[in-house]
Chains A and B, each alone.
Chain A
């Protein structure tokens, strides 16, 4: 019966969604579509309604049984095999052909006022299968032992999760007075350092008795941690680039750095302070790379240390002088890099309470507006602002293009004041052109008239115009590419690869082929340029997209 073909997918989808919706009934259209697919042409509306209610009820029943199998399989994810087993205990023949471990990519099509979900089965060329190299043989089940806890203390080894999860770090920093729960107490005792044994920590807790005191924050690092800290900081600012890369990698990925975070933070802020004075560009760059690595580490809760890190970063953006020879050294790159860092931290840490983004914006704008600001600082301010996104550029930078243009003109075309100023103005100009062009290309309507630009933006107008034209061309090119990539994303994997990945876990990414057309459907692509199918039949279906879940799973390499 065709209903059965729809059974598996619908239950799966119903389970994926919220379990609360219990009054959901399948639409009668589905009944009609299924009836049609087995050759029953005219199904009456009442019979459809009756059928759909019955089918919905049976599906729910089966889904509830399938959940049982999921629970006993000790899983959180309902699988197709669970539904098969549920059908089996109801003495219904299981569904064949849904052996995928992963989400089955259902496609949705609509057209002619009708909607349809369907499972796309591709025709697979046998020679293709023969010629594809065999997937890797899946690894066999193996057993591995590790210490989850040693006399009550969880050792910090890769097999165990990071000692202090981010939420807990946050809880500790935001609510330090919260009564410590016994569970956290355990972890607290870990933080008290591997030096102190658990018994000590325990005894301490016992002595405290009923009066819960704020856990004293500790500043001791274990010997290993001290060694690690020394190695890492030395490598980060040392001369060996390979070592540095390794150290930065470690900072960016190691889950157990939580306890060393205050040291790193101080190290960076102090380092920046000293090296700005000494104009040591190289060291400043290294330190900024450390900040970047810290920010990339997903296990660290950095909010507590922003007050040290942000000033350091801002210094590297706007400082008057960052190097010994401003005319030769590329301190502009450092400013750009730091500006990007700043933007990143604004994005991740800005909240309504700390207002980082608006405070930073204010700082940059203020010094930019100042007439006496030097070209280096000016560059930093603009870089910092423009990294904050197109909205900031649109509201803060573009209106000032004329004024800024005049100032640049004065330096470049006016009497030679100093070489440094000239270089500065030059850099500011190219920076403005680079950032503004892309924004203007998006917001300003065509045509791009050189004269109109001059009127609107002053001295920079003509140059801007040519940049905008270039940007538009590039955008068009990119759009095409993007279009193509989205197409490949919506492309479901062939059944073959699905089953392979089910076993093997990894399959080489396959080059997408053109959508194969199921016999009963015709695809009409919304994108122009694709060859449309000849002789469209009475009902047209337009393939919209597969669901997000499907496309993401397909992207697994």
Chain B
């Protein structure tokens, strides 16, 4: 039953986001979809129109009534659909479930703040997920391609053109005819107008150029004006901001209506509204101009394809706009980052530290005990205080600590006591692990938290694990041998290991494509790997065999990571969806859909309640693990994001992209608070030191750079105004924050790791 349920959920999701499963759906359904879409768009417009001063409260209230109503509708639609497809059993289950869940509505839903009605229609497993989708539908940004690409395991026939059927629906918006010859005139007229306005408005209004250009071009292409489209492109593509070059290149290839089918970039433009933030004054200016000129063509595009987020106050400067723009679909709406995020850390479980051996140590070395004890006390007191920003300890169920985990925690604390305090005048030492003879095949690296093991993923589908301590890797004995062991003996754990298999490295075979992501479990018993073959595999580091292959992505899986508490893990891939899994479920627990392009990297928040994903659509999203909601959308990168890192206190995040810039974010406020320039190529590795004073970044340009994050975070003045508007002045010179730059010998840096004592480990493959 559980299986069917999740199945229904998936179908339902597809229904909601107008993605019929691989063309089996008949026309009627499609028609209905159009209907829902238009109604959605309408509601979206209503929202947009009603966003008057102080619109936040208004928007919230207007949203909540539509939520349940919409939900009812969809539920009915789903039931109809199921009936037509003779899935009576499922209908029953769904009915029962819907009826049941109304009663248990309060338990998970209320935590997320009222709008938990989505959860009602679903099983508890997937409730939050659908909820998030629903809320997104009501904001009128359906993530159609993302979810259509999400495959339905039993039904997928690997047709590849899954998103074909709804393309026509999507494109039909372009069917309005205008005189193709007038397009350049319109565009030029607007250009002249914007160039003539006051300086303070010009920068803001210039934002309109790019989305307008794209939509006008697409309209021309859609209406078969190939020549005009090409001319239009040639004439105006040079005006666009340089960070859109990548998208422009894709657009330039598209010159025929047929090309538009199945082109993901095009679908992104159509399905999501390009979001602009413009001050009220500038907006009025633009509106008046367009109405005076009767320029309906442009006005229509603005109405239909753009979402203009109007704010009161000073227009923003060019640099402020440039800092935030660059993403595939414009900036994030201000509303999108309003949800409260519990970024604090969870309370550390109190562990009885066996003091005897430490006391022995203390006796041996005089003077030390004084130093150590107050430290431990401070640690203890810190963990007793509940951080007001921390989520509830039981907000998401976490695995219980095992004895071995406790031992590890104790080790961790001991090591932490010997930690070097880093700072601008006390830089860490860097130990570089070079992979030799990798023949350009090293694609991913991970190092265990205690820095005892290194794993590498390779293009030849293998995963290799090395021990970097004298302790060699050993396999557990075979079952027959194990039965001979005396289970009562004290050294049973030692006895089960097969001494004959001891070696410094082990190879894990199983994938059938390059391994792009790799992650050790915190307890060092498991290893995750994600690959081009669409699977995530869980390996045992006791037996060095594959335990589970998690299927679901069907397309290359770019990254995967274990939760800091183990048990959960997240993966993201080419299908634009990030998935949350638990190691003992072969189906995902949550699907985070919303990105408009590949999910390129995934990271857990230190408190395990949130997941951050970076994407090729040049945005970062933060997702709530509890209910699957997207709680932050961070824009500002100008290239696909390839690395993410949370600060150890959970307050900040750093992200690195192909544009060679590192951006720093305040999670609580959802603000960009720093920009670190210096790298000249893709940043593949980012890591905060154990106390968060230093950020290390590793790049394709063969350098490791160290940044003074303490200073970067201190420099930010966060008054109420900037916090409210999100318009922040970035400090001009990030060079002052650069503490050091270390060049390797033609070895791109693809992983960084701070040991528990704050020694920096870096890894990469030598590329002669």
With A148-B432, A159-B434, A161-B743 in contact, is A72–B558 under 8 Å at CB? yes
B437:A139 contact, CB within 8 angstroms: yes
Best-buried of B514, B658, B705 by chain A (most CB within 10 Å): B514
Q: Given B464, B600, B744, B750, which contacts A141 in the complex, CB threshold below 8 Å?
A: B464
With A81-B459, A143-B468 in contact, is A60–B253 under 8 Å at CB? yes
Neighbouring B residues of A148 by C-beta, 8 Å: 430-432, 704, 742, 744, 762
Residue of B nearest to A183 (CB): B741
B642:A71 contact, CB within 8 angstroms: yes
- What's the least CB distance linking B228 to chain A, in Å? 15
A151:B744 contact, CB within 8 angstroms: no
Give CA–CA (A203, B425) in the complex, Å. 8
Q: Given B160, B427, B682, which contacts A151 in the complex, CB threshold below 8 Å?
A: B427
Q: Given B250, B440, B532, B682, which contacts A77 in the complex, CB threshold below 8 Å?
A: B440
B745:A159 contact, CB within 8 angstroms: yes
Give CA–CA (A148, B432) in the complex, Å. 6
Neighbouring A residues of B438 by C-beta, 8 Å: 141
Give CA–CA (A363, B592) in the complex, Å. 77
Cβ proximity bits B416-453 to A, threshold 8 Å, 1 near / 0 not: 00000000011111111111111111110000000000
A183:B684 contact, CB within 8 angstroms: no
Give CA–CA (A361, B691) in the complex, Å. 65
Give CA–CA (A150, B432) in the complex, Å. 11
Neighbouring B residues of A183 by C-beta, 8 Å: 678, 705, 738, 740-741
Q: Given B159, B441, B640, which contacts A71 in the complex, CB threshold below 8 Å?
A: B640
B427:A198 contact, CB within 8 angstroms: yes
**Looking at the complex, which of A85-93, A351-359, A374-382, A418-426 is the stretch in contact with chain B?**
A85-93
B640:A89 contact, CB within 8 angstroms: no
- What's the least CB distance linking B616 to chain A, in Å? 7
A-B pair number, CB within 8 angstroms? 168
Neighbouring B residues of A74 by C-beta, 8 Å: 442-443, 684, 700, 748, 750, 765
A154:B513 contact, CB within 8 angstroms: no
Give CA–CA (A85, B158) in the complex, Å. 15
Interface flag for B263 (CB, 8 Å): yes
Interface flag for A182 (CB, 8 Å): yes
B253:A61 contact, CB within 8 angstroms: yes
Cβ proximity bits B232-276 to A, threshold 8 Å, 1 near / 0 not: 000000000000000011101111101100010000000000000
Interface flag for A311 (CB, 8 Å): no
A22:B430 contact, CB within 8 angstroms: no
- What's the least CB distance linking A94 to chain B, in Å? 11
Task: Name A47-84 residues within 8 Å CB distance of B.
Answer: 53-54, 56-57, 60-61, 64, 68-69, 71-77, 79, 81
Task: Name B168-212 residues within 8 Å CB distance of A.
Answer: none
Give CA–CA (A165, B212) in the complex, Å. 47
A140:B437 contact, CB within 8 angstroms: yes
A71:B439 contact, CB within 8 angstroms: no
B443:A73 contact, CB within 8 angstroms: yes
With A73-B514, A140-B437, A182-B735 in contact, is A149–B427 under 8 Å at CB? yes
Interface flag for B456 (CB, 8 Å): yes
- What's the least CB distance linking A70 to chain B, in Å? 10
- What's the least CB distance linking A25 to chain B, in Å? 9
Interface flag for A146 (CB, 8 Å): yes
Interface flag for B315 (CB, 8 Å): no
Residue of B nearest to A198 (CB): B427
With A71-B682, A147-B431, A203-B425 in contact, is A91–B159 under 8 Å at CB? yes
With A57-B259, A182-B738 in contact, is A89–B574 under 8 Å at CB? yes
Neighbouring A residues of B428 by C-beta, 8 Å: 149, 151-152
A142:B740 contact, CB within 8 angstroms: no
B742:A143 contact, CB within 8 angstroms: no
Interface of A is mostly: mixed
Interface flag for A219 (CB, 8 Å): no
With A141-B435, A147-B430, A152-B427 in contact, is A182–B255 under 8 Å at CB? no
B735:A138 contact, CB within 8 angstroms: no
Interface flag for B539 (CB, 8 Å): no
Residue of A nearest to B237 (CB): A22
Interface flag for B454 (CB, 8 Å): yes
Interface flag for A516 (CB, 8 Å): no
- What's the least CB distance linking B573 to chain A, in Å? 10
Task: Name B79-127 residues within 8 Å CB distance of A.
Answer: none
Task: Name B753-768 residues within 8 Å CB distance of A.
Answer: 762, 765
Give CA–CA (A139, B438) in the complex, Å. 9
Neighbouring A residues of B459 by C-beta, 8 Å: 73, 81
Neighbouring A residues of B704 by C-beta, 8 Å: 148-149
Q: Given A71, A143, A150, A182, which contacts B435 in the complex, CB threshold below 8 Å?
A: A143
Neighbouring B residues of A254 by C-beta, 8 Å: none
B160:A160 contact, CB within 8 angstroms: no
Neighbouring B residues of A53 by C-beta, 8 Å: 255-256
Interface flag for A19 (CB, 8 Å): yes
Neighbouring A residues of B705 by C-beta, 8 Å: 183
- What's the least CB distance linking B503 to chain A, in Å? 12
Interface flag for B675 (CB, 8 Å): no
Neighbouring B residues of A154 by C-beta, 8 Å: 742-743
Interface flag for B458 (CB, 8 Å): yes
Q: Given A56, A76, A91, A186, which contacts B700 in the complex, CB threshold below 8 Å?
A: A76
- What's the least CB distance linking A145 to chain B, in Å? 5
Q: Given A57, A61, A75, A79, which contacts B255 in the complex, CB threshold below 8 Å?
A: A57
B427:A22 contact, CB within 8 angstroms: no
Neighbouring B residues of A151 by C-beta, 8 Å: 426-429
Interface flag for A216 (CB, 8 Å): no
Neighbouring B residues of A505 by C-beta, 8 Å: 439
Interface flag for A202 (CB, 8 Å): yes
B556:A141 contact, CB within 8 angstroms: no
Give CA–CA (A82, B198) in the complex, Å. 49
- What's the least CB distance linking A65 to chain B, in Å? 9
A22:B574 contact, CB within 8 angstroms: no
Task: Name A161-204 residues within 8 Å CB distance of B.
Answer: 161, 165, 181-183, 186, 198-199, 202-203
Give CA–CA (A160, B434) in the complex, Å. 11
Best-buried of B432, B438, B642 by chain A (most CB within 10 Å): B432
B598:A149 contact, CB within 8 angstroms: no
Neighbouring A residues of B616 by C-beta, 8 Å: 68
A-B contact pairs, 30 of them (CB 8 A): A23-B252, A53-B256, A60-B250, A71-B640, A72-B514, A73-B443, A74-B684, A74-B750, A74-B765, A76-B700, A81-B514, A140-B437, A141-B436, A141-B438, A141-B458, A141-B464, A143-B466, A144-B433, A144-B436, A147-B431, A147-B432, A148-B430, A148-B431, A149-B742, A150-B429, A160-B744, A161-B743, A182-B739, A182-B741, A199-B425
- The 3 tightest CB contacts between A and B, nearest first, are A91-B160, A152-B427, A183-B741
